[in-house]
A and B are shown apart, each in its own frame.
Chain A
Amino acid sequence: MDSYAGNVLRVDLSESKHTIEDLDEDLARDFIGGRGLGSKIVVDEVDPNVDPFDEDNKLIFAVGPLTGSGVPTGGRYMVITKSPLTGTITNANSGGHFGPEMKGAGYDMIIFEGKSPEPVYLFIEDDKIEIRSARELWGKTIHQTCELIKGQFESPWEAQQYRIACIGPAGEKLVRMACIANDDRVAGRSGVGAVMGSKNLKALVVKGTKGVSLHNKDQFKETLKGVMDKIKASPVTSEFAPTFGTSGSVPLFNESGVLPAYNFRQGVFKSAEKISGQTIAETILIGREGCYACPIHCGRVTKVEEDNYKGQGKGPEYETLALLGSNCGIDNLSAIAKANYICNDLGIDTMSAGGTIATAMELFDKGVISEKEVGFTLNFGSAEAMVKAVEMMGLREGFGDILAEGGYRIAEKYGHPEVFMGVKKQEFAGYDPRACKGMGLQFATCNRGACHIRGAVYIPELYGIPEKIDPLTTEGKAGWTKIFQDFTAIVDSAGMCMFTFLAIWKDEMRAMLNDTTGAGYTMEEMMRVGERIWNLERLFNLDAGFSKVDDTLPKRILEEPAPEGPAKGHVCELDKMLTEYYQLRGWDENGVPTKEKLSELNL
């Protein structure tokens, strides 16, 4: 099929060998690419009960047919593996410029197997593939690693031709929320960087000069024109996101009672305006940045002059502001930006970092964790303590060694599992499910634990796109959750960013896929691919020991009414939505896909 590179690179790190296989076109048609194809490999080749840090776990980098094809936001790659944070199958994706480079080198997927006896990095220049020693790079931060690699080239012109994806010290030290970084963007959630570290794989350095073939170029150019007209016409993708980034949502989400504060004890934060995108634009913002082929440019470049928090870098985005900010009771924008820069350099997910620190703060508040144990006062609102905790977590220093295990394991360790705010051991994203109930169902059912992006029901609930729905009711939420989950699986597998949902929807997606690949999907077939991927991931998790009891939310969200804001008095009535959701999915009352459903999906 057109638009695929056609090759799968398999790297055996234990033996320091590689092989190249042809892409299976039937599988590509059934799973599109990226997340779908990568999940298929994990399900077929990884024992669901394997320890994620065992050498038998596999780490897959995958791009989709739309990666590098010229579609807007078509620059993403996906990392798929078994997560050391959740124990589920997981996938994390990133923008920047790495994905198109990998595809340009000629690979739809790179599958890492085994474990290297010593630190290595993978060097790719089209057909040239080398596993090189990373002894000099081990222990280095993400920015140091990139500098050292770029410094090996003869000229800056040459260095610019290569793209790097790497881990920082956090990945090396198996911090359970370690990310993989490229171009200052990250494949952030669920600890994919720690799996990379467990394999002694420090980086991928790639240059690709091959092009992406298109099935029907003239038709594709017409489709693109229509897609771009929609992106330019939407106030969200043409004005709001470019001007304020995702951080511009802080005021709206706070007014909606969704912005978590004090470890989800509240959904309203008194000094929200101090940490909003609008304040960022007036204070620390020095530029904005776009990922490859992105017309939206939501990336923030900021600079902090304040003495204690001096620095420059990317972010903070909404999730970082919510989780390292309001959820820790912190309204010091400089400190949040600084913590973000540290996360970017050590290689940790800002969201799980924030959720974990808030868990520890609540335990500190309750007197369960002492000052002596932490080494300093770790109370809500202490910006200095939060920044220090982030650094210690990324390096596993002192109390950071405990923080590096994530919120769930800390709460368990200290005998207070109820203070962990997340699902399947992954910390919540920045949405209080009592004030946007569809997000409660999404968090509870997502295959990689609490996650906002693999079924972003907050888009209709809070932005009113594609239509406005009431965030405070449970009605219809099962249907919305299912459709967002299935459609996102398609977008993730194609290689695009889900931000395009803010302007385009299924028709455009189908046209782009068919114009580039020639697969000729009907709408029904395309949507079935999304559903197939979702069910496939679910099957892996069931085999890994997950069941209906794991599709739940913390007691605080289910039983304690929100104390203020528009959701005052509300809890998240999950049960009702969950039953309806299982029915819509064609699963039995225990959340297991029925035989009929599986045969309908060819699974």
Chain B
Amino acid sequence: MMKIKIEPEKCTGCRYCEVVCSLQHYDSVSSKNARIHVFPDDTNQMYFPITAGPYTDAQCTCKRMITVGGKEVDACVLCPASCPARPVFMEPGTEIPLKCDLCGEPPDPLCVKYCTSGALSIVEI
């Protein structure tokens, strides 16, 4: 199975992945309808590109910290789900939850192709 591997320590926060994701899926380009978003973590001065996973209609109750590359990061930042507490990955206007489809079958994600920082790559797992 193919998967997008994310190495946040390499991300420069340019959000090129967002705009080309939109370009792949829509006639009208906007970061706001992308299935990948770059979340800034101001505390650690890092950026986390996160691909959209399944939508959940309930907010989870566990707040926890995860260690990434020696840094404590709020797990909520890294969560691929949209939820009522964090309504990201929703299509503006329709509010339909979006999910990464790896740009089709076989997977050929445009976000990976346009990421020059090395933060995104496609790997077999």
Q: Mark A212-235 against chain B: 1 for CB-CB distance below 8 A, else 0.
A: 111001000100000010011000
Contact A211 B40, CB 8 Å, known A70-B23, A157-B87, A294-B14? no
Nearest-CB distance from B45 to chain A (Å)? 6
Residues in B with CB closer than 8 Å to A238 are 116
Nearest-CB distance from B50 to chain A (Å)? 12
Q: A48-94: which have CB < 8 Å to B? A: 68-70, 72
Q: How many A-B pairs with Cβ below 8 Å? A: 95
B92 pairs with A209, CB closer than 8 A: yes
Q: Mark B43-83 against chain A: 1 for CB-CB distance below 8 A, else 0.
A: 00100000000000000000000000000000000000000
A residues lining the B interface (CB < 8 Å): 68-70, 72, 97, 100, 104, 155, 157, 160-161, 208-214, 217, 221, 228, 231-232, 238, 242, 286-297, 299, 301, 312
Nearest-CB distance from B8 to chain A (Å)? 11
Bound Cα distance A124, B116 (Å): 32
Q: Mark B3-43 against chain A: 1 for CB-CB distance below 8 A, else 0.
A: 00000000011111001101100111111110000011000
A68 pairs with B12, CB closer than 8 A: no
Nearest-CB distance from B39 to chain A (Å)? 7
Bound Cα distance A252, B113 (Å): 32
A301 pairs with B45, CB closer than 8 A: yes
Bound Cα distance A296, B115 (Å): 10
Q: B101-125: which have CB < 8 Å to A? A: 113-114, 116-117
Contact A104 B23, CB 8 Å, known A289-B12, A290-B13, A293-B14? no
Interchain CB contact (< 8 A) of B33 among A211, A228, A290: A211
B14 pairs with A291, CB closer than 8 A: yes
B residues lining the A interface (CB < 8 Å): 12-16, 19-20, 22-23, 26-33, 39-40, 45, 85-88, 92-93, 113-114, 116-117
Residues in A with CB closer than 8 Å to B28 are 210-214
Bound Cα distance A289, B22 (Å): 22
Nearest-CB distance from B53 to chain A (Å)? 16
Interchain CB contact (< 8 A) of A70 among B29, B45, B116: B29
B45 pairs with A286, CB closer than 8 A: yes
Which residue, B15, B87, B116, has most C-beta atoms of chain A within 10 A?
Answer: B116
Q: Can you name the residue of chain A whose Cβ is closest to the Cβ of B116?
A: A295
Which residue, B12, B40, B113, has most C-beta atoms of chain A within 10 A?
Answer: B12
Nearest-CB distance from A145 to chain B (Å)? 15
A68 pairs with B19, CB closer than 8 A: yes
A290 pairs with B29, CB closer than 8 A: no
Bound Cα distance A208, B31 (Å): 10
Contact A97 B15, CB 8 Å, known A209-B92, A297-B116? yes
Interchain CB contact (< 8 A) of B30 among A157, A210, A291, A312: A210
Nearest-CB distance from A155 to chain B (Å)? 8
Additional A-B contacts beyond A104-B30, A221-B23 (9; CB < 8 A): A209-B93, A213-B29, A214-B28, A232-B116, A290-B12, A290-B16, A292-B14, A293-B16, A297-B12
